Amino acid sequence: MAALSNTSDFGQITPANAMKWDAIEPAQGTFMFAAGDAIANLSASNNQLLRCHNLVWHSQLPSWVTSTQWTNETLTAMLQDHVTQEVTHYKGQCYAWDVVNEALNDNGTLQEDVFFNILGEDYIRIAFEAAAAADPSAKLYYNDFGIETAGAKSTGAQNIVKTLKAAGTKIDGVGLQSHFIAGSTPSKSSQVSNLQSFTSLGVEVAITELDIRIELPVTTSNLAQQSTDYQTTIDACLAVDGCVGITVWDFDDKVGILL
């Protein structure tokens, strides 16, 4: 807690699990905010930004979401209600929201899940519009991994931005999770070019879950490589106008928590 509360190191907090669907609405219409409130209160007491995560994701869904026989109309209403209730509860506290998380397959197509299978790609627009209506001041993000360099998945994420903008739907940013491995982290130039491919669409970008794994046992050599690779990604963000923040996947090796 002492390390976390040092705002010279950490100016922003992201909850790992406390704001995900299974934690917030474990039964339909039953909302439980206590765990999320603890994170929000901590960030407020430390005068840190709160980057809220996440509203819609195919994983960590309670069984009632995946087992109910939805229609287009009932699922739309349920999705809008969940997003509206959660964003309204945290209105004015969240600097930004990861509205939709990890919607893409590696080939850039949209994953089949309960939302896509009923609503098609329109579920993304529905979620973003509900979030925008509930808290117009919050930044709204699409967040994913494997989009840190040019390729099919990065193109897929860019297409999400283009589709939402074409519909007149508010989207402010794209979060690039950046789960890397020491020694195979993308080069600075490739990361810069890719980040600019998003900012050229009129959205900001952020590194949202940066971690760089090393093989055990720890050695002086692989620690040095890890350090170099962290610097590479940070330098890439700093080189791009519109790269607004870097979040690390915790700051020690004991537990994996987004901070």
Active site residues: 102, 209
* Sign of the CA dihedral running 201, 106, 193, 177: positive
* Count of CA atoms in the C-beta half-sphere (13 A) of 170: 18
Q: Are strands 96-101 and 173-176 parallel, antiparallel or unpaired?
A: unpaired
Q: Characterise 110 by phi-psi region: left (phi > 0), alpha (psi -120 to 50), beta (else).
A: beta
> Collapsing DSSP states into helix, strand and coil, what is residue 136?
coil
Tell me which residue of 177, 181, 187, 184 sits closest to 236, measured CA to CA: 187
Tell me which residue of 90, 116, 19, 111 sits closest to 60, measured CA to CA: 19
Residue with tokens 């509203």: 55
Q: Distance (Å, rounded) from C-alpha 190 to C-alpha 195?
A: 9
- Beta strand residue intervals within the chain, DSSP E: 12-13, 49-57, 96-101, 139-144, 173-176, 179-181, 204-213, 243-248
